[in-house]
C-alpha cells in the first residue's frame, strides 16, 4: 500500500477504516508544509503554545541538515555526486502523530502498511514508546531505537534514483495496549525543478521504474 497523505494533504487528520475483512486502522495526526517557506499555510499552524512556530522552524531546519547529509552520502555511494542537487530547496513536510493506547491490540493497526513516496523520511519517537515496524523478507521487524535517535528511511524516489540499490521499505505502526505513542515524521521530496530521471539513472530497470512511478502517480491522483 502506498501512502499518499504526505505529498499534498495538510492539516489535522484522523484515520479510521472499519471492514469485516481487515483490522481497524486508527490514529490522529497534524501535517504541515514546512519547506520551502513559500509553501507554508500559516492558517493551519497552531497558535498555542506561542512558541510552536519558532520551535518547529528550528526543529525542521536541523532535520533538513540531517537529510542533506544523508542525500550527499547516498549520492557518493552511487557515484552520483550531483544527486543531492535535486534536493536543494527541497519540499519538506512534517506530520505529528498520536496513537492512543488500545486494550484490544489484536484488532487494531495504528498505521497501515505502506511506503513513503518522498526521497527520505526522518522519524523521531517523541516519548520513546516503540511501535514502528519494517517488513524484511516477508517478516515484520520491530524498530527499537535508543532514546533521542532519529530513524532515517528511504522513500520511493530514492529507490527510483538508485535503480533499486536503496530500497523503499514497507512499514507500519502497531499499537501499545497500555501506553500512548507520539512520533514526528519529517518528509523530504525533490525540488520542483529537479530532473533526476534523465540526469542520473543511466541503465534503467524498467520494471522498477514503472512500478514505483505508478505508486507516485496514483498518490498524486488521489489528491486531485
Please report the pLDDT score of residue 175 as a whole number.
Answer: 76
Q: Which fold has domain 2-223?
A: Jelly Rolls (2.60.120)
Grid cell 514503472 in the structure block, residue:
210
Q: Which residues contact 158 (CB under 8 A, 6 or more apart)?
A: 74, 119, 120, 166, 168
DSSP 121: E
Residues in a beta bridge with 3: 116
Helices (H), the chain: 5-8, 52-77, 156-161, 196-200, 206-223
Q: Residue ranges per domain, the chain?
A: 2-223
DSSP 145: P
pLDDT 10s digits, 95-151 = 988 888 877 666 555 567 889 989 999 999 888 788 889 998 999 999 888 888 899
d(Cα 26, Cα 104) in Å, to the nearest integer? 12
pLDDT 10s digits, 119-132 = 999 999 888 788 88
CA 53 from chain centre, in angstroms, equals: 21
d(Cα 205, Cα 183) in Å, to the nearest integer? 35
Average pLDDT, the chain: 78
d(Cα 39, Cα 131) in Å, to the nearest integer? 31
Helices (H), 22-51: none
Tens place of pLDDT for every residue, the chain, 224 residues? 334 333 457 888 776 555 555 555 567 888 999 998 888 999 999 888 888 999 999 999 999 999 999 999 999 999 988 888 889 888 999 998 888 887 766 655 556 788 998 999 999 988 878 888 999 899 999 988 888 889 999 999 999 888 889 999 899 888 777 888 888 999 999 887 766 544 454 544 544 444 444 444 444 333 33
φ and ψ of 89, to 5 deg: 55, 45
Q: Are 184 and 128 in contact (CB under 8 A)?
A: no
pTM: 0.78
φ and ψ of 80, to 5 deg: -125, 80
Amino acid at each position: 500500500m502506498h501512502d499518499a497523505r504526505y505529498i499534498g494533504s495538510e492539516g489535522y487528520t484522523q484515520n479510521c477504516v472499519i471492514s469485516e475483512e481487515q483490522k481497524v486502522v486508527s490514529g490522529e495526526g497534524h501535517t504541515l508544509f514546512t519547506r520551502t517557506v513559500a509553501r507554508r499555510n500559516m492558517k493551519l499552524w497552531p497558535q498555542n503554545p506561542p512558541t510552536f512556530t519558532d520551535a518547529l522552524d528550528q526543529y525542521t531546519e536541523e532535520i533538513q541538515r540531517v537529510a542533506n547529509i544523508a542525500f550527499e552520502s547516498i549520492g557518493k555511494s552511487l557515484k552520483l555526486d550531483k544527486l543531492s542537487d535535486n534536493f536543494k530547496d527541497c519540499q519538506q513536510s512534517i506530520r505529528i502523530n498520536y496513537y492512543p493506547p488500545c486494550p484490544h491490540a489484536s484488532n487494531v493497526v495504528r498505521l497501515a502498511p505502506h511506503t513513503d513516496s518522498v526521497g527520505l523520511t526522518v522519524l523521531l519517537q517523541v516519548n520513546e514508546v516503540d511501535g514502528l515496524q519494517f517488513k524484511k523478507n516477508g517478516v515484520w521487524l520491530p524498530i527499537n531505537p535508543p532514546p533521542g535517535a532519529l530513524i532515517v528511511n528511504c522513500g520511493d524516489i530514492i529507490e527510483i534514483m538508485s535503480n533499486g540499490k536503496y530500497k523503499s521499505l514497507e512499514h507500519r505502526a502497531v499499537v501499545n495496549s497500555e501506553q500512548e505513542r507520539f512520533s514526528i515524521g519529517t518528509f523530504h521530496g525533490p525540488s520542483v525543478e529537479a530532473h533526476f530521471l534523465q540526469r542520473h539513472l543511466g541503465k534503467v530497470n524498467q520494471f522498477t521504474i514503472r512500478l514505483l512511478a505508478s505508486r507516485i502517480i496514483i498518490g498524486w491522483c488521489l489528491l486531485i
